[in-house]
Amino acid sequence: EVQLVQSGAEVKKPGESLRISCKGSGYSFTSYWIGWVRQMPGKGLEWMGVMYPGDSYTRYSPSFQGQVTISVDRSISTAYLQWSSLKASDTAMYYCARQRDGYNYRYFDLWGRGTLVTVSS
């Protein structure tokens, strides 16, 4: 089955570090971009960044540049999103999604179920 499986919910304190994961299966993981999308409580979708697992090339939204790090372990078909110092405002649901690309089209065709991150003292 083609799927993205995300790690479980996390509860952290401000200032702590965190890494959440997204494991792809059922397809060639290194052949498709993987994006990360934030959804704050009761809010809409925000693109954070995208990585091409084949060569680890990564681009970030200006809104998230320097705030998070996207990485990959190709050996286990897993992408990661990490924070070095969490803030309460990082409380949100985080989705990974596979991006399909072609001439003049890009869209997320496969989504993980999301990882809920709660940051509270």
Report residue 21 as tokens: 């994961």
Minimum CB separation of residue 4 from another protein in Å reads 9
95 binds another protein (CB under 8 A): yes
How many C-beta neighbours within 10 Å does residue 101 have?
A: 12
**Residue given tokens 């496969």 in the structure block:** 110
Residue 93: how many other CB atoms lie within 10 Å = 18
Complex with another protein: residue 16 or 109, whichever CB lies closer = 109
**Per rule CB under 8 A, is residue 62 in the interface with another protein?**
yes
State CA 67 to chain mean position distance: 13
CB 118 within 8 A of CB 11: yes
* Closest to another protein by CB, 53 or 112: 112
Please, are residues 4 and 61 in contact by the beta-carbon 8 Å criterion? no
Residue 45 lies near another protein (rule: CB under 8 A): yes
Q: What is the smallest separation between the CB atom of 53 and another protein, expressed in angstroms? A: 17
Tell the smallest beta-carbon distance from residue 113 to another protein (Å): 5
Residues of this chain that bind another protein (CB under 8 A): 35, 37, 44-47, 49-50, 59, 61-62, 95, 97, 100, 104-114
